[in-house]
Every structure is written in structure tokens, then in C-alpha cells.
């Protein structure tokens, strides 16, 4: 059952996504990059399908060419790589510049596939076997075939990984952010798998030891996972809303913020227990408590603000200014700088209070923070993270 799922699950997912894509037809303003998305989906689906044991055997039997599905599956991946690169070029260059490049790369693709076909024929692999590597890893031309194949794939996948991650960082839409990160991780894993496979072939050929060879997790699961991550990531912005993904992501983000606020809240609570409406729970209990998250997060933000007010007589303006200068020197700016300075000021004030310093009710100073609840929550999350780092440093120091 697990094996069936591993072999056929990814292909089934791919075709469901592709069918959903087809059902939606052509949408949105005309864009030359649109068709490349199609091709990526189609290429991945074909590649996943050709490498399922049943289709692999069927292709070999019908064509009379053993292991032909392997060559065709890899051909589909070349198309995926070409499409992904074309997609990325379209994002950054006008169509007049993109067209000559894509044509040139189509030429590279054709040359690569031709070279792979020649090496495929040269390699003597008479038994049609979906577990190709286990049988033929050390045979002549198998390594060469693989090196030609990944030489074409790797630059495209590297662009997907690096740019996907960078664009995810730039985006403000949660689904796109997660989707692009999944694509980037998928591309990164694919590069890792391809290099691993090259080492497997090389080790068999040249007789050196390469222990990770033949590991089910790496050989069986990793390529499927890479495929699936790219597929799911690239289509998440389209189907995410059907499964309420934006709400789930927003919930997850609030949960993480709630957990991130804990160290700061805990320290302020220890100094001024009156700020808490309900007493502190152990960290583990908080980690597994999922109900009422909105109310609990709101309470935590309010109680941190109450804790800061209670600490104000111990806040020292000079300490805050010095901490700010240090943070600026370390290259921080904007909200990160404000948060680091505030964390240092609170850390020093808590320390002063614990040492029995005298409370000084001075003139009111500016309170750094966000203009509304959401932005203040984000600000306090950053403060709490910086505060946690300071706590760890002073603990180790």
C-alpha cells in the first residue's frame, strides 16, 4: 500500500492539478509567461507518470525499446527546466529580449536531448526495469547520460530555487509566499537528488565508496517529494482558497507570533505578576493549546504593554540610546533597529529592577510600537525575538 502510494500518488496529484487547471481555461490578461506555467505543469505530470512502474513497463513493452520511459520522462523534465527559465526571464525582461534567448535555449534543449538519446542508445540496457539505477548504475555511458541531463537542468533549477525564495520574501500575499517557498525548496531538493544520483553512478563506475547509494529515502522519496513540492507550490495560489489555506496560514502566523512573544511576556510577568489576567502556563502546555488563539494573543500583547508601563520607572534613557547606537552599528535599520533597541532597554530595566534599583518617575518618553493592534503585535514579536537573543547571550556570557 505504502509503495503503491509512493509510486502512483504524486502522478495522481499532478493530473488532478492539471485537470483543475484545464477546467479553468484561459484567464487573466494575456501574458507571454502564462503558457510556460502550463508547460511546467504538463512536463512534471508527464515525467511523474512515465516513471510509475506500470507506465514504465507499458512504454517499454509497446515500443520494444527497454527503458524508453526513462528517456521520455527526462525529456519532459528538460521541457520543465526550459519553461521555468523562460517564465523567470519574462518576469525581468521585455518580450523582445526574451524571445531570442528562449529560442537559443530551445536549441540547447534539442541538442541536450539529442546527446542524451545517443548516449541512451550507446548504453547497453536490455532489461526494462523501473529500478534502473540498481541494475545499470555502473554501465558505460550511464554516467555520461546523466551528466548531460543534469547539466541542462541544474542552472534552471538553481534559478528557480534562488529567485523563488527571493520573490517569496518580496511578496505580501500569504499563499504566494508559501507557494514560492515550496517551489524553491522543491527545486533545491531536485538539484540535491540529481547530484546524489551522479555520485551513485560515478561510484559504481569508478569503484569508490558512496554510502548513501540505494537508500530508499533518498532514491525513492526525495525525487517524488521534489516534484510534488514544485507542483503544489506553483499551483497553491490557485487552489489554496478552496481549502481555506489563507485562514490556516494566518492562524499559523498568529500561533508563531504568540509563541515568539512568550519569553518577553514571561520576563515581564516575573517582574510584575499583576499584569496577567490568568497565571502563566508551562511552555509545553502553551505549545499544544490551540483553542482561543485570538483572545490569548490579544491578552499577551496587552499584558506586555502593561508590563512595560509597570517597568517604566526603571527604563533608562541613556541605556536605550546606547543600545540603539550599538544596534545601528551592527547594521540594523527601520523596525529591526527599533525592536533591538527596545529589547535592550527592557532587558536592562528588568535587570535594574531585579537588582533593587530605585524607581524613578521621570517625564514621559516616547513609547516605540505599532500604530494599531496588528502592527504593534508584529513590533512586539520582533522585540520579543531580540529580547530572547539577549537573554540567551547573558545566560551564556
Partner 1 sequence: MSAVPFRRLRRSLKSKVDALPLPTPFSIQALCELVAAERRRPIRLMPMARGVEVCGLWVALDETDLIFYEQTTTSHHQQHIILHELSHLLCNHYHSGAPEPDQWRYLLPDLDQGMVRRVLGRTAYTEIEEQEAELLASLIQQRARRLAPLQVAAETNALTGRIKTLLDWSGSGGPERPS
Task: Tell me the torsion sign for CA atoms 378, 176, 247, 185.
Answer: negative
Site string for partner 1, 32-71 (x = CB under 8 A): -xx--x----------------------------------
Cβ atoms of 144 and 201 closer than 8 Å = no
Q: Which of 100, 207, 371, 397 binds partner 1 (CB under 8 A)?
A: 371
Q: Which of 8, 21, 225, 389 binds partner 1 (CB under 8 A)?
A: 21
φ/ψ of residue 314, rounded to 5 = -105, -5
Site for partner 1 in 309-348 (CB under 8 A): 309, 312
The three-point CA angle 30-33-37 to 5° equals: 110
Q: Which segment (77-85, 336-344, 349-357, 372-380) binds partner 1 by CB under 8 A?
A: 372-380
Q: Which residue has the cell 489554496?
A: 240
**In the chain, what's the furthest Cα-to-Cα distance?**
90
* 27 near partner 1, rule: CB under 8 A: yes
* 372 near partner 1, rule: CB under 8 A: yes
Q: Which segment (6-14, 207-215, 221-229, 291-299) binds partner 1 by CB under 8 A?
A: 291-299
Q: Which residues contact 76 (CB under 8 A, 6 or more apart)?
A: 42, 43, 44, 46, 47, 50
Shortest Cβ 288–partner 1 spacing (Å): 14
Q: Which of 63, 117, 294, 394 binds partner 1 (CB under 8 A)?
A: 294
* 360 near partner 1, rule: CB under 8 A: no
Strands (E), the chain: none
* 278 near partner 1, rule: CB under 8 A: yes
Q: Which segment (51-59, 84-92, 223-231, 327-335) binds partner 1 by CB under 8 A?
A: 84-92
What DSSP element (H or E) covers 287?
Answer: helix 283-288
* 98 near partner 1, rule: CB under 8 A: no
Q: Which residue has the cell 512573544?
A: 261
Q: Which of 126, 295, 334, 396 binds partner 1 (CB under 8 A)?
A: 295
> What are the contacts of 84-93 at 24+ separation with CB within 8 A?
84/36, 84/40, 84/156, 84/157, 84/159, 84/160, 85/155, 85/156, 85/159, 86/33, 86/36, 87/33, 87/36, 87/37, 87/40, 88/159, 88/160, 88/163, 90/31, 90/32, 90/33, 90/36, 91/33
Task: Tell me the torsion sign for CA atoms 206, 208, 214, 219.
Answer: negative
142: cell is 550511464
* 114 near partner 1, rule: CB under 8 A: no
Cβ atoms of 78 and 51 closer than 8 Å = no
Q: With CB under 8 A as the rule, give the number of residues binding partner 1.
A: 62
* 246 near partner 1, rule: CB under 8 A: yes
Q: Which of 176, 199, 293, 336 binds partner 1 (CB under 8 A)?
A: 176
Q: Which of 60, 73, 75, 237 binds partner 1 (CB under 8 A)?
A: 237
Q: Which of 8, 141, 239, 316 binds partner 1 (CB under 8 A)?
A: 239
Site for partner 1 in 135-174 (CB under 8 A): 167, 170-174
How many DSSP H helices and E strands does the chain contain? 16, 0
Q: Which segment (106-114, 121-129, 296-304, 327-335) binds partner 1 by CB under 8 A?
A: 296-304
Site for partner 1 in 180-199 (CB under 8 A): 180
Site for partner 1 in 215-234 (CB under 8 A): 234
Q: What residues make contact with partner 1 under the rule CB under 8 A?
A: 21, 24, 27-29, 31, 33-34, 37, 87, 91-92, 167, 170-176, 179-180, 234-239, 241-242, 246-247, 249-250, 252-253, 274, 276-279, 294-295, 298-299, 302, 305-306, 308-309, 312, 361, 364-365, 367, 369-374, 376
Amino acid at each position: 500500500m505504502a509503495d503503491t502510494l509512493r509510486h502512483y500518488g504524486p502522478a495522481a496529484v499532478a493530473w488532478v492539478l492539471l485537470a483543475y487547471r484545464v477546467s479553468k481555461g484561459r484567464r487573466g490578461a494575456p501574458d507571454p509567461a502564462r503558457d510556460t506555467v502550463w508547460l511546467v505543469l504538463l512536463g512534471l505530470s508527464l515525467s511523474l507518470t512515465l516513471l510509475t512502474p506500470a507506465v514504465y513497463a507499458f512504454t517499454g513493452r509497446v515500443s520494444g525499446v527497454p527503458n524508453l520511459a526513462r528517456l521520455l520522462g527526462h525529456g519532459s523534465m528538460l521541457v520543465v527546466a526550459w519553461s521555468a527559465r523562460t517564465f523567470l526571464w519574462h518576469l525581468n525582461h521585455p518580450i523582445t529580449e526574451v524571445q531570442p534567448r528562449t529560442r537559443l535555449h530551445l536549441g540547447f534543449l534539442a541538442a541536450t536531448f539529442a546527446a542524451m538519446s545517443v548516449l541512451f542508445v550507446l548504453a547497453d540496457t536490455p532489461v526494462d526495469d523501473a529500478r534502473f539505477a540498481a541494475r545499470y548504475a555502473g554501465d558505460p555511458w550511464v554516467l555520461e547520460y546523466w551528466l548531460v541531463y543534469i547539466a541542462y537542468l541544474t542552472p534552471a533549477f538553481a534559478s528557480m530555487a534562488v529567485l523563488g525564495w527571493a520573490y517569496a520574501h518580496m511578496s505580501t500575499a500569504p499563499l504566494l509566499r508559501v507557494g514560492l517557498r515550496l517551489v524553491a525548496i522543491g527545486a533545491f531538493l531536485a538539484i540535491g537528488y540529481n547530484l546524489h544520483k551522479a555520485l551513485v553512478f560515478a561510484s559504481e563506475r569508478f569503484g569508490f565508496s558512496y554510502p548513501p547509494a540505494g537508500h530508499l529515502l533518498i532514491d525513492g522519496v526525495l525525487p517524488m517529494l521534489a516534484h510534488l513540492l514544485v507542483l503544489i507550490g506553483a499551483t497553491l495560489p490557485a487552489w489554496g482558497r478552496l481549502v481555506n489555506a489563507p485562514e490556516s496560514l494566518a492562524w499559523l502566523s498568529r500561533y508563531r507570533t504568540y509563541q515568539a512573544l512568550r519569553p518577553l511576556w514571561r520576563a515581564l510577568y516575573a517582574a510584575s505578576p499583576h499584569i496577567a489576567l490568568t497565571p502563566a502556563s508551562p511552555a509545553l502546555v502553551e505549545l499544544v493549546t490551540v483553542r482561543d488563539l485570538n483572545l490569548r494573543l490579544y491578552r499577551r500583547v496587552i499584558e506586555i504593554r502593561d508590563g512595560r508601563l509597570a517597568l517604566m520607572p526603571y527604563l533608562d534613557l541613556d541605556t536605550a540610546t546606547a543600545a540603539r547606537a550599538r544596534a545601528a552599528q551592527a547594521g540594523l535599520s527601520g523596525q529591526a533597529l527599533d525592536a533591538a533597541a527596545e529589547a535592550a532597554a527592557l532587558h536592562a530595566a528588568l535587570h535594574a529592577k531585579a537588582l533593587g534599583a530605585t524607581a524613578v518617575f521621570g517625564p514621559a518618553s516616547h513609547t516605540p510600537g505599532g500604530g494599531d493592534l496588528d502592527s504593534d503585535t508584529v513590533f512586539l514579536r520582533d522585540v520579543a525575538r531580540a529580547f530572547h537573543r539577549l537573554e540567551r547571550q547573558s545566560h551564556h556570557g
